Amino acid sequence: MTDKILEVQGLKKSYNGFIAVNGISFHVNRAEIFGFLGPNGAGKTTTINMLIGMAKISGGRIFYKGKDLTNNIKKAQEIIGVVPDESNLYNEMNGFDNLCFCGALYGLPKREREKKAHGLLELFGLKDAAGKKFMAYSKGMKRKLTIAAALIHEPEILFLDEPTTGIDVSSVRQIRNLIKELNENGTTIFLTTHYIEEAERLCNRVAFIDKGEIIQIDSVEQLIKASRETNIIEIHFEPVTYDKTRLLEKLNEIFPGIECVLKNDSAIKMVSISKIDIAPVVNYLSAEGLFIYEARLIKPSLEDAFVKATGIEIDLMKKEKEKK
């Protein structure tokens, strides 16, 4: 049996009658990265807030390490680290002091917290900014310091609420690598995100959440596997002049059972339930005078699984986020 660090049963939250989280159940295994994937207003932050003791629970139970702490989350706070969706460190204090103060809140003696603070600043590449006031940090630096602050007491489980939203690409990459690294060192990670590729790349298990309900929950591989057993092949060629409509008509006629669509001027996408025999297709296209330089199998991604399960269009979700 795997070791569950956190278990949630029928967790519910309503705000004056509005149900934000509707009786969700899941568990988080020790030393895994568990992801909550969902659009705006799905209930991700609300769920985290209940789990960390920042929101009252309207119903359900929360177990940490097998102990029912539903009414006493305070008892779990020692093993919890939290990175909220907005940085909440002290603006008027510098990076180093901020970390030391956070360490002190968990009762770390002075020498120890100073040592840890130096270590974390180093790890997050913030050494040069240690003496700078938090308010003078860039967004990415703020996020990194906020993560560092959540780690100073070496929590067993780290909650990350959209850790990579709204920061630059290189910081995103750095943060994702750090999350992986932390996890490899044994920290359990609970992360919310609306980036599918983030969930796919980082998480062991993922829950799709929408409108306060968990729609699907499984390991990333299982989710992808369960999402349509389809075969997708993309064929790329030099964009020479050819009659697009005629070519597609012909293809669909000669190869029944394969759905052919033009991806762009220089690529055709072929989708089929069964395996696709590429040779005849390539031969035919070649005979039609196209210069083919690539044909590849496209694996269905977590994105396909997510779209299928929730019916939410990814592009829409991204756009909504960016607006915010």
User: By C-beta, is 73 or 281 nearer to ligand ATP?
Assistant: 73
How many C-beta atoms lie closer than 10 Å to residue 312's C-beta?
Answer: 18
Distance CA 12, CA 10 (A): 6
Contact 259, 251 (CB under 8 A): no
Site for ligand ATP in 164-203 (CB under 6 A): 194
Contact 315, 308 (CB under 8 A): no
Bridge-based pairing of strands 33-37 and 188-193 is parallel
User: By C-beta, is 44 or 205 nearer to Mg ion?
Assistant: 44
Q: Does 21 bind another protein (CB under 8 A)?
A: no
Q: Does 40 bind ligand ATP (CB under 6 A)?
A: yes
Q: Does 74 bind another protein (CB under 8 A)?
A: yes
Helical segments of the chain, H only: 44-52, 95-105, 110-123, 139-151, 169-184, 196-202, 220-226, 244-254, 278-287, 302-310, 314-323
Q: How far is the CB of 281 from another protein (least distance, A)?
A: 57
Which of ligand ATP, Mg ion, another protein, none does residue 43 bind to, with CB < 5 to 8 Å depending on kind?
ligand ATP
Contact 270, 258 (CB under 8 A): yes
Query: Binding residue for ligand ATP (CB under 6 A) from 5, 20, 179, 302?
Result: 20
Distance CA 305, CA 321 (A): 20
Distance CA 81, CA 36 (A): 17
User: By C-beta, is 63 or 90 nearer to another protein?
Assistant: 90
Distance CA 196, CA 227 (A): 14
User: By C-beta, is 29 or 165 nearer to Mg ion?
Assistant: 165
Q: Does 52 bind another protein (CB under 8 A)?
A: yes
User: By C-beta, is 86 or 221 nearer to ligand ATP?
Assistant: 86
- The helix (run of H) or strand (run of E) holding residue 248 is helix 244-254
Query: Binding residue for ligand ATP (CB under 6 A) from 11, 46, 126, 152?
Result: 46
> Quick one: which segment of 28-36, 80-88, 243-251, 275-283 binds another protein (CB under 8 A)?
80-88
Bridge-based pairing of strands 292-298 and 231-237 is antiparallel
- Going residue by residue from 85 to 114, which x/- string records binding to another protein, judged by CB under 8 A? -x-xxxxxx-------xx-xxxxxx-----
Size of the site for ligand ATP (CB under 6 A): 13
Find where tokens 């509005």 sit.
Answer: 18
User: By C-beta, is 142 or 153 nearer to ligand ATP?
Assistant: 142
Site for ligand ATP in 70-129 (CB under 6 A): 85
Site for Mg ion in 29-68 (CB under 5 A): 44-45
Q: Does 94 bind Mg ion (CB under 5 A)?
A: no
- Which residue's C-beta sits nearest to Mg ion? 45
Distance CA 74, CA 133 (A): 30
The residues with which 208 forms a beta bridge, in sequence order, are 37, 216
Contact 42, 209 (CB under 8 A): yes
Longest C-alpha distance within the chain, in Å? 77
Find where tokens 């590449």 sit.
Answer: 125
Size of the site for another protein (CB under 8 A): 28
Residues binding ligand ATP (CB under 6 A): 15, 18, 20, 38, 40-46, 85, 194
Residues binding another protein (CB under 8 A): 15, 52-56, 74, 77-78, 80, 82, 84, 86, 88-93, 101-102, 104-109, 149
